[in-house]
Structure 1
Amino acid sequence: MITIQDIRNAQENIQDTINATPILQSGQLSQLCRNQVFFKCEHLQKTGSFKIRGATNKVKQVVMEGAKLVTAASSGNHGQAVSFIAQQLGVPATIVVPTDVNPCKMNAIDAYDGNIVKCGTTSAERIPRAIEIAAEQNGLFIPPYDDPYIMAGQGTTGLEILEQVQDVDAVIVPIGGGGLISGILTAIKETNPNIKVYGVEPETANDTFLSFQNGRITSITPTSTIADGLRATQPGDMTFPVMQKYLDDLVLVTDEEIRRAFSVVMERMKQIIEPSSAVTVAALMNKKLPLEGKKVVTVISGGNVDLARISELMIGTERIY
């Protein structure tokens, strides 16, 4: 397992590349959720998501070891991050994306000079293809989440939360493959184990939820959800044990609840966030967690939304409150 020292090392390694993202608050959302709610704004991060943290930590390492090409498998955000840092370091990147990739994410990968290859709709399909391309071209595959350098990089988000919000009671984190939450769990629980950390998954992409129920890594069949960044089919071999050790609870939210949270954040805070980010707000708004009157940080993991889809994602304001 990674340690908090790994995360501190990552913080030093990536500090010249990433932004220390801000914390925002909304009085109305705090009132609606019956907690003092803080938003860790990774949607304002370089490349539009937290993924640049882990990607920078990993790609810098493999380039230092002599890598001349990198590949990645991604629904979009990890691919953007790998393309960005590879471009900065002068290394070619090939990104394997789903056939139904979000156009804005694909455009960003292209803007960072990433070579795009489409394959399937799940990480279980994309990852083998990206590994195959790396082998064919004598490159190195950059995992989306199941890697100690990736996990440690994502964990720097947790260190920033501890620095920015004094006396925080709880942190709520989206779960896809588990890279972000395993890093944040390590950073927070190895600093102050009294702080609660909760995970949130979409109801239809509940692989980690089922894995917890079964006490072992459990796969699900490919699924659909508007939270496209959380469509993993199983948690990682490295990330799941960290979640088992430290996670306080894991809850599910529906696509309708995600839409409602997305709409509230846009209307009240004027922030465009991804549906994958809105799951944390949805969990609070729908009282899925045993929290009231607490100081709570929700991790807003990304903001790469296809502008053409915003009207489809929005719910009329008369249905919000």
Structure 2
Amino acid sequence: MAELPTLSEIEQRYAQLEGQVLRTPTVQATSAKLADVLGFDLFLKLELFQHTGTFKARGALSVISTLTNAQKANGITAVSAGNHAIAASWAARKAGISAKVVMTRTANPLRIERSKAEGAEVILCDDIAAAFGEVQRLEKEEGRTFVHPFEGVNTTLGAAGVGLELMQDVQDLDAVIVSIGGGGLISGVAAAVKLINPNCKVFGVEPTGAASMSASRNANEPVTMDEINTIADSLAPPYSLPYSFALNQAFVDEVVTVTDDQICAGQALYQEELKLAVEPAAGATLAAALGPLRNKVAGKRHALIVCGANIDSATFASQIVRGQDHVAALLG
């Protein structure tokens, strides 16, 4: 059984990273259209305004902050669909160490270029299996430290800062909705939320085509999916892992799924009603609030973690057009 983080540990790591990561704003939604469905007690934790455009900066910097001088001398490596690669590259640059990040050739070109802009060497591989093989080679041959995209206590402690800030900003929350990829974000947010207010519900949301945490909860152990199919590439790890899974079991009340059409509708509503241009991973939270979680959060004080916005304009435009065809169904 994994050892659960304490509130003291979360607060200590937050203090250690303070001034290096941004304290992102929490705002109350003012959309009359959404209020008709969810009420005006809807809050948005705007982590898309974090360094590198996603919450990932917190976890990457948290991990790198624990490296020894010898480890720093050898640099770091990471594997990612994009957001973690950007964040690891940024955190390495801030720490003054080298980074080699591994991505698949299908990764969004914007995310590849942003990783390079942060000073990292980007290595492209044909598929995710080859990418992990390359990371292992870099660990073995160059002595680089692997900064995992979601698994591990230091990643969780970094991500927990999102939940800590939210609970400081909004009193008496009834529920928080968090998107799930591998589980690094929700493990930190849920730990902070539950340790501060055990009565606040924490709901996770996954794409129906990448529901590894849902499958793991059903099996009561981490599982690997045979197939992944979703537009939300940052929510698409094909498996869950022991530490993040254990924290999910301990702190998360329920995990629901939404379709890609619902995710796109969520993106469209974020843009039209809340004036935010978000990537699919963030669109999933609003889709969940309006869809499978509506009866559990409507009229209550609830918050959405708006986790990121690393998306190019052409892809965003196509997803908004797709989403507009499904907004009416999502609003019900």
Same fold (TM over 0.5): yes
Equivalent pair of 2:46/2:307 in contact (CA under 8 Å)? yes
Superposed CA deviations along residues 76-95 of structure 1, whole A, max 9, x for unmatched, are: 11111111111122211011
Q: Measured at CA, do residues 256 and 82 of structure 1 come closer, stay the same or move farther in structure 2, by a change above 3 Å?
A: same
Q: Measured at CA, do residues 26 and 100 of structure 1 come closer, stay the same or move farther in structure 2, by a change above 3 Å?
A: farther
**1:184: which partner in 2?**
189
**1:297: which partner in 2?**
303
Q: Measured at CA, do residues 276 and 12 of structure 1 come closer, stay the same or move farther in structure 2, by a change above 3 Å?
A: same
Q: Measured at CA, do residues 35 and 270 of structure 1 come closer, stay the same or move farther in structure 2, by a change above 3 Å?
A: closer
Structure 1 CA distance for aligned equivalents of residues 15 and 84 of structure 2: 21
The number of aligned residues is: 320
Q: Kindly state the Cα deviation for residue 15 of structure 1 after the two structures are TM-superposed.
A: 1.0
Structure 1 CA distance for aligned equivalents of residues 31 and 275 of structure 2: 13
1:56-95 matches, cutoff 5 A:
56-64=61-69, 66-68=71-73, 69-95=75-101
1:1-321 matches, cutoff 5 A:
1=3, 2-24=5-27, 25-28=29-32, 29-34=34-39, 36-64=41-69, 66-68=71-73, 69-122=75-128, 125-289=130-294, 290-315=296-321, 317=324, 319-321=326-328
Equivalent pair of 1:33/1:287 in contact (CA under 8 Å)? no
Q: Kindly state the Cα deviation for residue 31 of structure 1 after the two structures are TM-superposed.
A: 2.7
Superposed CA deviations along residues 132-185 of structure 1, whole A, max 9, x for unmatched, are: 212211211111111111110001100000011111110000111111111111
Q: Measured at CA, do residues 26 and 35 of structure 1 come closer, stay the same or move farther in structure 2, by a change above 3 Å?
A: closer
Task: Give the fraction of aligned pairs with identical amino acids, expressed as a percent.
Answer: 30
Structure 2 CA distance for aligned equivalents of residues 81 and 181 of structure 1: 17
Q: Kindly state the Cα deviation for residue 318 of structure 1 after the two structures are TM-superposed.
A: 6.8
Structure 2 CA distance for aligned equivalents of residues 183 and 102 of structure 1: 26
Q: Kindly state the Cα deviation for residue 190 of structure 1 after the two structures are TM-superposed.
A: 1.2
Structure 2 CA distance for aligned equivalents of residues 45 and 30 of structure 1: 27
Q: Which amino acid aligns with 2:151?
A: D
Q: Kindly state the Cα deviation for residue 64 of structure 1 after the two structures are TM-superposed.
A: 4.6
Superposed CA deviations along residues 183-214 of structure 1, whole A, max 9, x for unmatched, are: 11111111111000000000000111011111
Q: Kindly state the Cα deviation for residue 126 of structure 1 after the two structures are TM-superposed.
A: 3.1
Q: Measured at CA, do residues 103 and 4 of structure 1 come closer, stay the same or move farther in structure 2, by a change above 3 Å?
A: same
Superposed CA deviations along residues 231-290 of structure 1, whole A, max 9, x for unmatched, are: 011112110011111211000000000000100111112211110111111001124352
Please report the RMSD computed on the Cα atoms of aligned residues, expressed in angstroms.
1.7
Report the 3-state secondary structure (helix = DSSP H, G, I; strand = E; otherwise coil) of the residue aligned with 1:162.
helix
Report the 3-state secondary structure (helix = DSSP H, G, I; strand = E; otherwise coil) of the residue aligned with 2:293.
coil
TM-score relative to the length of structure 1: 0.95
Alignment gaps of 5+ in structure 1: none
Q: Measured at CA, do residues 23 and 177 of structure 1 come closer, stay the same or move farther in structure 2, by a change above 3 Å?
A: same
Deviates more, 1:91-100 or 1:254-263: 91-100
Structure 2 CA distance for aligned equivalents of residues 4 and 30 of structure 1: 33
Equivalent pair of 1:198/1:250 in contact (CA under 8 Å)? yes
Structure 1 CA distance for aligned equivalents of residues 182 and 126 of structure 2: 17
Q: Measured at CA, do residues 59 and 305 of structure 1 come closer, stay the same or move farther in structure 2, by a change above 3 Å?
A: same
Structure 2 CA distance for aligned equivalents of residues 271 and 146 of structure 1: 29
TM-score relative to the length of structure 2: 0.92
Deviates more, 1:136-145 or 1:201-210: 136-145
Deviates more, 1:284-293 or 1:163-172: 284-293
Q: Which amino acid aligns with 2:231?
A: I
Report the 3-state secondary structure (helix = DSSP H, G, I; strand = E; otherwise coil) of the residue aligned with 2:196.
coil
Q: Kindly state the Cα deviation for residue 63 of structure 1 after the two structures are TM-superposed.
A: 4.8
Equivalent pair of 1:39/1:300 in contact (CA under 8 Å)? yes
Equivalent pair of 1:35/1:292 in contact (CA under 8 Å)? no
Superposed CA deviations along residues 59-108 of structure 1, whole A, max 9, x for unmatched, are: 12115564221001111111111111111222110111122111111111
Deviates more, 1:274-283 or 1:306-315: 306-315
Structure 2 CA distance for aligned equivalents of residues 238 and 77 of structure 1: 21
Q: Kindly state the Cα deviation for residue 223 of structure 1 after the two structures are TM-superposed.
A: 1.5
